[in-house]
Structure 1
């Protein structure tokens, strides 16, 4: 029997950084004020649909502080957080690993599709997000 362990505040923040950061990466890939608003709104539904440990992590505690200066800077924080989040869940709540991956990819995909479809830059970011989520597999 697999026992789920409670996540620490730091671990919950890692999950949040990855999930919210993935949406930010997609939004920044094809910028525009109206687009960013639509993308954020579309993604929020997917994040709210999470369950179990993932829902608790994404809906409690402070929001992550994400860099905003450059895409490379954001990626340098977000992609390792995604990989770390999967590692944390694999150790503490293995039944929620796929939930986290699915929630993050759904949120990022909804963000990408929310404004004029998926731009090539958004598709490239989605590939990097998928890679980070699969890296610790």
Structure 2
């Protein structure tokens, strides 16, 4: 089953996935935000299939706001919207997108020694919840 994405659809997918990495970076321990963003970005650019082609580029011109709350207000609904869009067109690609975002979230927690912080754990839960709200 083919998938047809408009430029707006692609922007939604990029905003959702790259924004999830930004949320994890914002929730990270001081001094490791850059490492979290790097690890999460590598996961996104390693995606395959149609989703991999879309996520190979970060969204251009997206203004996430000044606070983590502003970022979450844009990204969490975009995650749900992306899953709805993909589930309508191609459930397998919806699964690919979900797994890719989850891997990016997990990768963003890797730079931390030991267990992720409670803040990162909670942010990961919110991201997963938004993905599963579709």
Q: What is the TM-score when the length of structure 2 is the normalising length?
A: 0.90
State the match for 2:82 in structure 1: 85
Call closer, same or farther: CA 1:57–1:122 in 2, change over 3 Å.
same
Q: Quick check: 1:96 aligned with 2:93? A: yes
Q: Quick check: 1:111 aligned with 2:112? A: no
Distance 1:61 1:42 in 2: 14
Q: 2:33 aligns with which of 31, 36, 43?
A: 36
Q: Quick check: 1:17 aligned with 2:15? A: yes
Distance 1:107 1:68 in 2: 21
**Deviations 1:88-118, CA, capped at 9 Å, x for gaps:** 1111222111111111011111112213341
State the match for 1:63 in structure 2: 60
Q: Quick check: 1:6 aligned with 2:4? A: yes
Structure 1: 5+ residue stretches without partners? none
3-state DSSP of counterpart to 2:116: coil
Q: CA RMSD in A?
A: 1.7
Distance 1:61 1:37 in 2: 16
State the match for 2:125 in structure 1: 127
Call closer, same or farther: CA 1:9–1:61 in 2, change over 3 Å.
farther
3-state DSSP of counterpart to 2:12: helix
Shift, 1:45, TM fit? 2.1
Call closer, same or farther: CA 1:63–1:132 in 2, change over 3 Å.
same
State the match for 1:73 in structure 2: 70
Shift, 1:37, TM fit? 1.7
